[in-house]
Amino acid sequence: MSLYFTIAAVILLFVIIFQIAKASEYVDILKGEERSRKHNNKINGFLMIVFLVLGLIGVYYCHEILKGRLLGESASVEGEKVDSMMNLTIIVTGIVFFITQILLFWFSYKYQEKENRKAFFFPHNNRLEVIWTVIPTIVLTVLVIIGLRNWFLFTGDAPQNAMVVEVTGKQFGWIYRYPGKDNEFGKKYFRNIDDATNWVGLVWADNAEMNQKADPAAKDDIVLQQTMYVVKNKPVKLVIGSRDVIHDVGLPHFRLKMDAVPGIPTSLWFTPKFTTAEMQKSSGNPNFEYEIACDQICGNNHFAMKGIIRVVTQEEFDVWLAQQKPLYLTAFPDNNPATVPGSPATNPAGAAPADSAKNATAVTMVSNERKN
């Protein structure tokens, strides 16, 4: 309700100013052109000070009501550097903004036309030219160096313990690939892409026409859509690509982004600080999810190209990963050893199915194996 009152007050203020200006215009017509011009000049000079004060109050008010309400604290360790760089940039440009705006409006008021005042022409001054060229150059150079240093960190070599996830953009969604038990990504080829069974074009079989040989490493790769899982406090490297046009992996909560270019893999890495559950609790939003957005206009449904990043603990991730099935076995379920009669993975005839305690033991063993 207070917002509506504020808007109404601002509108009323402009209406009053407009009516005063119109009344002043009618009075000036009666007084004559010369006196009218001088009178308008005084009004404009006064309004310069009014707009200066109202503008500064508006800047402060917007800062106070929006501070901390957009994205909150950075959700990644590396994103803190982006926040700190942003704060430094705002401080530097903010100082320049306030100095220049105050001088602009004050000078317009102070040096308005008056009787017996003559204009002073100031065509050139080498010293001033050097000052307002060199100082901004030095300041901007420092800011650029800080930005490049952070950029090289995000896009450089990830820590050795980092998990690796491949992210592929397509119109209009995201595909995520995890290496299987061999901890190695299998080969892929764009002509193998099939939206029904092979989303990223993994090389599962020999193809003489394409001069391809089946890659065993591709048969245990886990390929998912919509939701990507990563681990809290564990670096994650994203290997980024695209199936069609240029997209952009935007990670607003982690303060990072990177282009997804067809045929040219790019990469970045970051370390999540808070699990999704912790963010839901701290934000007071039980439906909170980390978002992966496309920050590059890529077609008619660009606005809907959103995915989810779910940050979990290592134990939760191990349980989740143990439940995933390689895309190869999803496309060819008959090739799953667990479904072949007589396979060691198949329960003997008449044997009771594994109970929940055995399942829990199996998951724990997988979890411990991955940790080791």
pLDDT in the model for residue 68: 65
Q: 27: closest CA among 15, 39, 14?
A: 39
Shared domain check, 30 and 90: no
What's the mean per-residue pLDDT of the chain? 84
Comparing 216-220, 262-266, 348-352, the range with the smallest average pLDDT is 348-352
How does pLDDT run across 293-338, given as a tens digit for each residue? 999 999 999 999 999 999 999 999 999 999 999 999 989 888 776 6
> Which among 114, 139, 155 is the end of a domain?
155
**Secondary structure (H, E, C), 331-363:** HCHHHCHHHCCCCCCCCCCCCCCCCHHHHHHHH
Higher pLDDT, 147 or 21: 147
Edge-to-edge strand ranges of the sheet holding 222-225: 222-225, 173-178, 163-170, 236-242, 266-270
Compute how many other C-beta atoms are within 10 angstroms of the C-beta atom of residue 256. 21
The arithmetic mean of pLDDT across residues 193-221, rounded, is: 87
Q: Is residue 370 scored above 70 in pLDDT?
A: no
Q: Is residue 33 part of a domain?
A: yes
How many CB atoms lie under 10 A from the CB of residue 54?
A: 12
Same domain? 320 vs 174: yes
Same domain, 201 and 304: yes
Give the CATH number for residue 171. 2.60.40.420
Q: Give this prediction's pTM.
A: 0.74
Task: For residues 168 and 201, state if they share a domain.
Answer: yes
User: Is residue 223 domain-shared with residue 283, that is, in the same domain?
Assistant: yes
Residue 339 within any structural domain of the chain: no
Whether 31 is in a domain gets the answer: yes
What average pLDDT does range 41-69 have in this prediction?
A: 83
Is residue 62 assigned to a domain?
yes
Q: Is residue 119 part of a domain?
A: no
Our CA angle for 232, 238, 243, nearest 5°, is 140
Q: Per the domain annotation, does 320 fall within a domain?
A: yes
Q: What pLDDT digit, counting tens, does each position of 120-144 carry? A: 787 888 888 999 899 999 999 999 9
Q: Is 229 exposed, middle or buried (0-12, 13-18, 19+ CB in 10 A)?
A: buried
Whether the predicted pLDDT of 359 surpasses 60: no
- pLDDT > 90: percent of the chain: 52
Mean pLDDT within 16-44: 72
Give the number of domains in the chain.
3
Same domain, 244 and 300: yes
SS3 of 48, please? helix
C-beta of residue 273 within 8 angstroms of C-beta of residue 75: yes
Instruction: Report the C-alpha gap between 311 and 275 in whole angstroms.
Output: 5
pLDDT of residue 73: 85
Instruction: Calculate the dihedral angle through the C-alpha atoms of 36, 37, 40, 42, rounding to the nearest 10 degrees.
Output: -110
Max mean pLDDT among 108-122, 143-157, 196-210 falls in 143-157
Same domain, 304 and 187: yes
User: Cα(first)–Cα(last) distance of the chain, in Å?
Assistant: 58
Examine the domain organization and report whether 138 and 190 are in the same domain.
no
Looking at the fold, whether 208 and 88 belong to one and the same domain comes out as: no
Closest alpha carbon to 90 in 66, 123, 116: 66
For residue 34, name the pLDDT band (cuts at 50, 70, 90): low
- Predicted pLDDT of residue 187: 92
pLDDT tens digits, one per residue of 256-286: 999 999 999 999 999 999 999 999 998 888 9
The answer to whether residues 61 and 83 belong to one domain is: no
Q: Which of 17-26, 236-245, 255-264 has the lowest mean pLDDT?
A: 17-26
Angle between helix axes 126-155 and 79-110 (nearest 10 degrees) is 160
Residues spanned by the domain of 269:
163-333
Q: What percent of the chain has pLDDT over 70?
A: 86
pLDDT at 349 over 50: no
Q: Does 356 map to a domain?
A: no
Residues 223 and 173: their CA atoms lie apart, in Å, by 13
Hey, what are 264's tokens?
Answer: 């040219």
Supply the pLDDT for residue 344: 45
* Highest mean pLDDT out of 25-39, 50-64, 158-172: 158-172
Mean pLDDT of 59-84: 84
Distance of CA 202 to the CA centre of its chain: 29
- Could you report the per-residue pLDDT of 173-188, keeping only the tens digit for each? 999 999 998 999 999 9
Residue 263's alpha-carbon distances to 12, 169, 189, in angstroms, are 58, 12, 10
* Alpha carbon distance 103, 144 (integer Å): 28
Q: Domain check: are 214 and 65 in the same one?
A: no
Residue 277 maps to a domain: yes
Q: How far apart are CA 147 and CA 156, in angstroms?
A: 14
pLDDT at 13: 81
Strand 163-170 relative to strand 173-178, pairing: antiparallel
**Do 174 and 313 fall within a single domain?**
yes
